[in-house]
Structure 1
Amino acid sequence: MTHPSPAEQAFSRAAPVRLWEDGFARDPRPYYAALRAQGPVGWAELAPGVPAYVVTDRRAALDLLHDTETFSRDPRPWEATVPDDSPVLGMMRWRPNTLFADGAAHLRYRTTLIDAFDLVEPHDLRGRVHRAVHLLVSRFGPRGEADLVAEFTRPLMALVFNSLFGLPDSASDRLDAAIGKVIEGGPQSAEGEAEYAGYVLELIAAKTARRGEDLPSRLLDHPAGLTPEEVTWQVFLTLGAGHEPTSNLLSNTLSRILGDPAFHSTLTSGARPVTEAVLDVLHHETPLANYGIHYARTPVTFHGVWIRAAVPVVVSYGALTQAVDEERVADRRPGDASHLSWSAGPHACPVRQPTLLIVTEAIEQLTQWLPDLEPVLPRERLTWRPGPFHRSLTALPVRFSPRSPDRPGGRP
């Protein structure tokens, strides 16, 4: 085994970049610049007293994401080193699902998810999105004003995922509130985790007793033979990973569209595809900014940095997008997938196409119902939710001509 050099020892003693500060939510750019100044791998804190290595270089990120021999996704050795009330445990605690598994166990879990989602036909998913948009616009459309985060993007994701998982619309607010507490990693994280776990446990108990045409039932009946407990944790992962990042992708895309009148006019006229706006956000304001967490199986030197075992190694997708040079940005073409927002390697997002369909359909439907949407605040005055993991707006206030989808002729 190699040992850390004096330079590597000095690195680990350097002051960590504190990703839990309020300033990080307001403007992450100087924090990412400070991390990149340390080299391909920076030194940070995810919460007070919770250090982590943060990968800010694309080549290093790809090496990490593909190296299953050196690095593991199992956080249990790290968990033993942090207090039980750590605010980041809700996002990082080990559970028996595909996110925290390696090797054969990971493949088994991942296969069940892919197979379950493959049974969701695009036209069926499109119909669920259209129905959710209609329901939400019918609530706020007649007022002529709305907060698109609180009244559209977050409840829309809860409605769509509740329908896929066989739950009524009335349960959507409970899902949205619980997941929001978990991902922010603040003082309410443990409370949110307990609420969310209870939500999922009730769902699986209901589906174990009586199957339906929904994703939990397909997981329970999958030939891989998952136990009810394993299905519970698969659903725990899938609901959270589907709801929160997709909601953030939707709100970040809407804010960029509405903040650029030229962009908005070309989208509403059909001259420019919505997918181009979504790709722009994936490149420059990715919704899950810091995650893809790995742990070195044994101490190792990685891209010039001595990595200790049982210390999180986080991929900063946010720092990677900000590190793209201007020439590369200028040369980018629609459809370019050079970003790593979907991650890479064996743990790359298995449901990127359904995610893109949900976001693009939601934006297209909303702008058809409300073609004269305009922001109340300039984009630089919008505020962002705290937390080290995500890039998520607190609110997106807009105004428009009052419209009721239920009134004849109400739709353009």
Structure 2
Amino acid sequence: MTIHPPDRHDFARSVPVRLWDEGFAADPYGRYRALRAQGAVGWAELAPGVPAYVVTDRRAALDLLHDEETFSHDPRAWESTVPADSPVLGMMRWRPNALFADGAAHLRYRTTLIDVFDLVEPHDLRGRVHRAVRLLVGRIGPRGEADLVGDFAEPLMALVLNDLFGLPESQGDRLHSGVGKMMEGGDRAAAGEAEYAQYVLDLIAAKTERRGDDLTSRLLDHPAGLTREEVTWQVFLTLGAGYGPTANLLSNTLSRILGNPLYYSTLTDGARPVMDAVVEVLHHETPLANYGIYYVRRPVAFHGVWLREAVPVVVSYGALGILAEREATGGRHPNDASHLSWGAGAHACPVKQHTLLLVTEAIERLTQWLPDLEPVVPRDRLTWRPGPFHRSLTALPVRFSPRSPASESSGVRP
């Protein structure tokens, strides 16, 4: 029997599961269990008064991700139904880029992005990461203590991305400030969107005036002939997607490694690769927990639920990673094929390998230079930023023996 969910006027009588409050940040898995109890598709709120269908079943998620005829990434019909000051609009409003496009437009944008990122050779990216880690260890190493979120993961991503896209190191704080506010989706979301948009506009203006050996210049000169506006929105997408989620993947992985002494000891002697920890994070603390957002082109029955137009349908990678893994593996160690954090189908992440290389190289280099990192706060007492879309630590304080990259005692040559 097809289940028809209540219309918008009945939401007060059918309380949706909140994905935006402090309770969700503290215990997302409890909220995911509540959604899963409703079936393959549950009811949730992405912000006060912003309901969404949430897919927590792996089979249903794969059906959605591979069905371009039924599901679209274009949010404009939904946009017209929400207040202009909705805190999630910064992350969800339509823009002419690869994320919010379908069909031929999506293929054109996506192919252009793949082409320019394919020109970033692994050894080149590795070198950029090494230089950034060296710079940051030079700042924090002599202190003997640091916050691996605010002092390492976030500034590392700002350094690497500014380098790749063609802005100087001094602009990193603007990237961090704007994207961070947008992803939290709270009262500061609109200000964050404006800050980040201005950062991107300044970058495009600089590269339009003077090209360089960078991703922005390659986009401007790509044979696909993207307009300046189209390039602006591809950069808006890729910088934002590259900064926040990758910084979170990096800090969440460091947290998992440092929170398990046996894990950390085998990592530092090379017995257990960093990639094992990254895969565990993609299951348990995936950085983009609820950002697989689609919309039905017409009302349709889907896995027992009647989906209506202009209501977001969210693939919950956070719920899928932990819940589907337990069903599929019986709790055994996860493998990289049993989660969907990279998406699937036409909109699967096009720069997965770049992201994995960046994160693993950063952790390996950091733990070579600072091999005795010790967490200050027990892992179960770490706090997480609120927001419906991400899984993001507020801080990861550590202490270690003071040193610098130039120190011979580090055992690593620059």
* TM-score range normalised by the length of the shorter chain: over 0.9
| Paired residues of 2:321 and 2:338 also in contact (CA < 8 A) | no
Whole-angstrom CA distance in 1 between matches of 2:66 and 2:289: 19
Which stretches of structure 1, 4 residues or longer, exceed 6 Å deviation after superposition? none
Partner amino acid, structure 2, of 1:142: P
Q: Deviations over 1:223-262 (max 9, x none)?
A: 1100000000000000000111110000000000000000
Match of 1:301 in 2: 301
Partner amino acid, structure 2, of 1:325: R
What is the SS of the residue equivalent to 1:98? coil
The answer as to 2:248 corresponding to 1:252 is no
Q: Deviations over 1:94-138 (max 9, x none)?
A: 000000000000000000000000000100000000000011111
Where do 1:312-351 residues align within 5 Å? 312-323=312-323, 324-325=325-326, 328=329, 330-332=331-333, 336-351=336-351
Where do 1:95-244 residues align within 5 Å? 95-244=95-244
Whole-angstrom CA distance in 1 between matches of 2:313 and 2:102: 16
State the 1:284 CA deviation.
1.7
Q: Deviations over 1:11-32 (max 9, x none)?
A: 9742100111110001111100
Match of 2:77 in 1: 77
Whole-angstrom CA distance in 2 between matches of 1:19 and 1:296: 21
Match of 2:394 in 1: 394
Q: 1:11 to 1:89 in 2, by over 3 A?
A: closer
Partner amino acid, structure 1, of 2:329: R
State the 1:409 CA deviation.
4.3
| Paired residues of 1:250 and 1:359 also in contact (CA < 8 A) | yes
State the 1:9 CA deviation.
3.6
Identity rate, percent: 75
Whole-angstrom CA distance in 2 between matches of 1:211 and 1:62: 41
Partner amino acid, structure 2, of 1:212: G
The answer as to 2:402 corresponding to 1:406 is no
Q: 1:393 to 1:9 in 2, by over 3 A?
A: closer
Range 317-326 or range 307-316, more displaced: 317-326
| Paired residues of 1:257 and 1:264 also in contact (CA < 8 A) | yes
State the 1:174 CA deviation.
1.2
What is the SS of the residue equivalent to 1:393? coil
What is the SS of the residue equivalent to 1:85? coil
| Paired residues of 1:296 and 1:309 also in contact (CA < 8 A) | yes
State the 1:329 CA deviation.
5.3
| Paired residues of 2:370 and 2:410 also in contact (CA < 8 A) | no
Whole-angstrom CA distance in 2 between matches of 1:74 and 1:327: 32
Whole-angstrom CA distance in 2 between matches of 1:100 and 1:92: 9
Match of 2:20 in 1: 20
Whole-angstrom CA distance in 1 between matches of 2:403 and 2:333: 38
Query: Cα RMSD (Å) of the superposition?
Result: 1.4
What is the SS of the residue equivalent to 1:8? coil
| Paired residues of 2:162 and 2:168 also in contact (CA < 8 A) | yes
Range 360-369 or range 399-408, more displaced: 399-408
Q: 1:329 to 1:9 in 2, by over 3 A?
A: closer
Range 282-291 or range 189-198, more displaced: 282-291
Runs of at least 5 residues in structure 1 that lack an aligned partner in the other structure: none
Whole-angstrom CA distance in 1 between matches of 2:327 and 2:295: 33
What is the SS of the residue equivalent to 1:325? helix
Partner amino acid, structure 1, of 2:4: E
Where do 1:49-60 residues align within 5 Å? 49-60=49-60
Whole-angstrom CA distance in 2 between matches of 1:126 and 1:9: 50
Q: Deviations over 1:300-330 (max 9, x none)?
A: 1111101110100001011111212267054
Whole-angstrom CA distance in 2 between matches of 1:330 and 1:77: 41
Partner amino acid, structure 2, of 1:153: A
Whole-angstrom CA distance in 1 between matches of 2:31 and 2:327: 20
Partner amino acid, structure 2, of 1:231: V
Match of 2:370 in 1: 370
Q: Deviations over 1:342-370 (max 9, x none)?
A: 00010000000000000000000000011
| Paired residues of 1:405 and 1:411 also in contact (CA < 8 A) | no
Alignment size in residue pairs? 407
State the 1:267 CA deviation.
0.4
Match of 2:37 in 1: 37
Q: 1:107 to 1:223 in 2, by over 3 A?
A: same
Q: Deviations over 1:175-213 (max 9, x none)?
A: 111110010001000000000000000101111111110
Q: Deviations over 1:21-46 (max 9, x none)?
A: 11000111110010000000000000
What is the SS of the residue equivalent to 2:291? strand
Q: 1:394 to 1:225 in 2, by over 3 A?
A: same
| Paired residues of 2:279 and 2:334 also in contact (CA < 8 A) | no
Partner amino acid, structure 2, of 1:237: L
Whole-angstrom CA distance in 2 between matches of 1:330 and 1:37: 19
Q: 1:215 to 1:267 in 2, by over 3 A?
A: same
State the 1:10 CA deviation.
5.0
Q: Deviations over 1:19-74 (max 9, x none)?
A: 11110001111100100000000000000000000000001001111111111100
State the 1:332 CA deviation.
4.3
Whole-angstrom CA distance in 1 between matches of 2:221 and 2:282: 35
Whole-angstrom CA distance in 1 between matches of 2:154 and 2:50: 29
| Paired residues of 2:280 and 2:334 also in contact (CA < 8 A) | no
Match of 2:264 in 1: 264
